[in-house]
Amino acid sequence: MSRILDLAKQFEQASKKELESTNEIVQNAIKQHEKNLIEQLQYAGSNLAENIQAEQAKLIKSTVRMYRLPIIIALMILALIAITAGVLTWQSKNAYQEMIAWEHSAEIAKEQSGGIKLSTCQTNKGIKPCVAVDKDLMDKTWGGNLKIIEVHEPKSKGKQ
C-alpha cells in the first residue's frame, strides 16, 4: 500500500507541478493577450485620430473652397467700385477745372466786351446766335467796323 501511497503522492506532486506550469502558461497567455489587445487598441486609436484629422482637413479645404468664390466676387466688386470712384473723381476734377477755366474766360470776355450779352435768336433760317444791343445805339456804328445789319427778336424762355 505504501507503493500506492507513493504513487498517489507522486501523482499529486506531478499534478501540482503541472497545475502550476499550466497556471503559469495561462497567466503568460493572458498577459500576452492583454499586451496584444493594448497594442491593437493603441493602433486603432492612432488610426482613428489620423482619420479624424484627415476628415477635418477635408472639411477645412471644402469650407475654404466654398467661401473662395464669394470672396473673389466681393473683391472684384470692391475693385470695380474703387475703379469707378477713381474714374468719376478724375472726370469731376477735370470738369471742375474746365468749368473754372470757362468762368475765367467769361470774366475776361465780359471785361473786354463791355458787357455785351450773347444769346440765340429765331430767324427765318432757324435759330442763330445773336448779341443783345441797346436799342438807343441801333443806328450807330461801333468803332468804325461794327454795325447792326439785322434785328431779330430773342427766342422766348418758354420755347427752350
3-state secondary structure of 146: strand
Provide the pairing of β-strand 141-142 with 146-147. Answer: antiparallel
pLDDT band, very low/low/confident/very high, at 160 (cuts 50, 70, 90): very low
- The single residue listed with the C-alpha cell 447792326 is 148
The pLDDT of residue 114: 59
Instruction: Report pLDDT digits (tens) over 23-47.
Output: 999 999 999 999 999 999 999 999 9
- Full-model pTM: 0.38
Domain assignments of the chain as residue spans, ordered by start: 2-115, 116-160
% of residues, the chain, pLDDT over 70: 78
The pLDDT of residue 105: 85
Residue 58, CA distances (Å) to 32, 62, 63 in order: 39, 6, 8
The whole-angstrom separation of Cα 20 and Cα 79 is 86
